[in-house]
Structure 1
Amino acid sequence: MIHHVFIWSTFCFLLCNSYENLSLRKNVSQSTSDSGFKASNAVDGDITTCMRTKPIGRDSPYESVWWMVDLGGVYNIHRISIIFKNYEGFELRQRGRFAGFSLFVSNTKDIKDSSLCYKNEPQLPPLNFTTTCTASGRYIIFYNQRLDGVQYPNGFISHNVSTELCEVNVMGCTTTHVYGYDCELPCPANCRYNICDIQDGSCLSCKSGWHGKYCEIDESRKPTSDSSVLIGVMVFVGISLAIAIGGLLSERKRLNCKCRSKTYEVSKMHLSNLHKVTVKRPVNTYQGFSDISSEA
């Protein structure tokens, strides 16, 4: 009972948030199928039912395995969670079987045209796995391989590798052209296909004629090469004129200072001579007064 409560709590934690499960009950396919373990078991909302492929690796005719879900449209994705099949007492073996897997996001069914969202190595993955995958796409592809002659890291199982996915949850916005934790903010108007990063709203690519993180810069307003040259010439002329004017003002100031210095010297000389005359005249006057006094 406790075991089932723990599983359900974990499963609810993965689903109970503002992002919604884009993969629930969507169309799926896989490379091979073991009897009774169909591909749709991984998106039926029941973690007790699992898909299973035929084994890959040594002593098997298959070297690779894939499973794919069609979301039904291009959506903004935030993260992908996978609950792998566990067998009591064989958890390490199961982790070694799933080790090395990759997750791709694509707008086509061809894995060659897809973008890598996650690659597991060299650590063994947990059986309750989640990875952030901020991307935009329609198809989510699970892929793994075991090639002959390849030395895999410690813990990887290389023979009788069955892939068993019990539930795959692709969490994101069910409404297109939006972003944010509540999927309520519209993508910037100039994002190509109106698609943007689900977390910060930055455009994955821009419409023709726009650029910038949010495609907010109009390329038609960018300076052309000719106008750039003209602006450069104007700046150069402006700087040259500023330097020339500054030089003239400096020279004028220097000449003014020199003139004031000469004026000061002339004034000083004049005052000196005046002082000499002024000093001499009182002596003569005093002598005059003496003469008058003596005559009296």
Structure 2
Amino acid sequence: MKILGTLWLACLCALPLAAAAQGYPNKVVRIIEPAGPGSAVDVFARKLGEGLSTRWGQSVVIDNKPGGNSAIGAREAARAAPDGYTLFHANINNSLNDLLLNDACCRLNEALLPVTLLTATPLVMVVNPGLGVKTLKEYLELAKRDPQALTFASGGTGSVTQLVGTKLNMATGLKIQEVPYKAIGAEMPDLLAGHVKTGYLAPVVVAQQIKAGKLVALGVAGNRRIPILPDVPTLAEAGLPGVEASGWNGLFVPAGTPKEIIQRLQADIAGVMETPAFKADARELGYELGGASAEEFSAYIKSEVSKWGGVIRDAKLKAQ
């Protein structure tokens, strides 16, 4: 009888959760965006918000909370009520923060639970044409012959651009010097002028410069070629396997959010991203669309933390 009573109580407790998911959403949904207005991820969040608003018949607002390498927005999201009405648009910086800062307040997969991956964008390794190299093989030969001739740009400590440049050094035994900038992409003027020799940037940022001959692409740091740059090999094809790096972003909710609401969110987001407009943007801008289950996204985050955690540990990188 005691067991039956416990089961009956559990069923009663589950009823409000199921009802909440069934009627969800019935008021404004807020997406906390840790980047500033007008940034690429902000633009994507606003487009997604419009699609969800149309699907739900409810307003979706984007609340920009930039700063702290995306940590400020993460902290606010983690403190929000776990009812599905506050979502967090996290990016790769948040997982790297978890590695470098070890702050329990807003760890992904713990304080913030995954809903679904939105996009993943493999970085493109580019060099200034003044180096006179056309392939990764020629670049590595130059680095061995004249190590002082090369530098690579990064977005500073803990940025994915620092980590991929460091991983290349570790994989090849080279010591190409890092030149840190305040943000990813801030190096473009110096890269074009030849003040820094190597960059790792999103395809949409460098595609036109490559086509105009202002930059030379040596490889895509992904597991396949990308439509926006079909003639550029992957780094593995170019002779350097195991060096992959993507900028990614996805949606999260505070821990304690009912599973039924997470599943509803994932299904609706995937539905919005299946539309022709989203698919066309992905082809044109060189990123891959997500939409998979929360469990798959969680596993992906774990794999990213494991991969970059090894680089941070072996290179003895510290937060600044």
**TM > 0.5 fold call:** no
Structure of higher RCO (CA pairs closer than 8 Å, 6+ residues apart):
2
**Greater share of strand:** 1
TM range (shorter): under 0.3
**Greater share of helix:** 2
Report the TM-score, using the length of structure 1 for normalisation.
0.20
